[in-house]
Amino acid sequence: MEKTYSIYCDESCHLEHDELPVMLLGAIWCPISMIHEHTKKIRKIKETWNARGELKWTKVSPSRENFFHEIVEYFFSTRDLNFRCLIVDNKAKLNHSYYNHGDHDSFYYKMYYYLLRNIMDPQKCYNVYIDIKDTRSQIKINTLREVLCDSVHDFTRSMICKIQHVRSKEVELLQLADFLMGAIAYKRRCLNNSSVKLGVIDKISELSHIDLDSTTPPWEEKFNLFFFSPQEEKK
């Protein structure tokens, strides 16, 4: 059984004042021994369809419809690629002054904790790669590592071998996380101005056997969704 895994994390609609109703954090993970194979396959699919640059949801268009369907089919055809997404509904209801000491960043990393804790097994080792947010956030992700390890009494920090920032343009699996998150965000925002994007969403729903609108069982590994609803301020 594989003991070492890599997790690639990205975010969408995460800015505090972007006036978007949802915030998403997503993670793709697989055994470290399979990273090269999946990267090679995704690049081959890109080459076949002459799809240059990053794989991104914002690039979904009629001229590349079959390419994006093949990407979805590839993900679901694999046995060891998994995806988890945390969706914060009604972002405008977030009360950072009451729950997060007035700091949106604190909430952001709390959500990363909830995203990752259900993926990790203390008997295994993980390399965690997070899309770079800013040059000052390394301290925050080091703290995230400590909190995740402490939560399973791993005081030697052996569960998380390393945690660091990467740039998505260099990492195909991080781009795949962006793509899948984008589909969920598009559906959650009730957008319908692109039949091609709606078709990709239907393909994801068909192959995952879920409607993308509700939390999946915690034991669901292949395509796991967790919806977080902000609480009202306590009186």
Domain spans, the chain: 4-228
Identify the pLDDT of residue 71. Answer: 99
* Greater model confidence, 63 or 98: 63
CA separation for the pair 105, 9 (Å, rounded)? 16
Q: List the single range of 102-106, 120-124, 132-136, 214-218 with lowest mean pLDDT.
A: 102-106
Mean pLDDT of 42-59: 96
- From the list 158, 138, 176, 134, the residue with the least C-alpha distance to 46 is 176
Exposure pattern of 81-102 as b/e (b: 16+ CB <10 Å)?
bbbbbbbbeebeebeeeebbee
Residue with tokens 């003991």: 3
Mean pLDDT of 191-205: 97
pLDDT tens string 116-143:
999 999 999 999 999 886 656 788 899 9
Q: Mean pLDDT of all residues in the chain?
A: 88
Q: List the single range of 15-19, 72-76, 108-112, 182-186 with lowest mean pLDDT.
A: 15-19
Class of domain 4-228: alpha beta
Mean pLDDT of 221-230: 91
Identify the pLDDT of residue 18. Answer: 55
Residues, the chain = 235
The pLDDT-based confidence of 109 (bands split at 50, 70, 90) is confident
Q: Decide if pLDDT at 57 tops 70.
A: yes
Please give the order of strands across the beta sheet that includes 4-12: 160-166, 125-131, 4-12, 23-31, 82-88, 223-228
Q: Decide if pLDDT at 21 tops 90.
A: no
Residue 228, beta-bridge partner list: 88
139 touches 130 (CB < 8 A): no
End-to-end Cα spacing for the chain? 50
Q: List the single range of 87-101, 112-126, 200-214 with lowest mean pLDDT.
A: 87-101
What separation in angstroms does the CA of 214 have from each of 22, 33, 86, 141, 197? 14, 32, 11, 28, 20
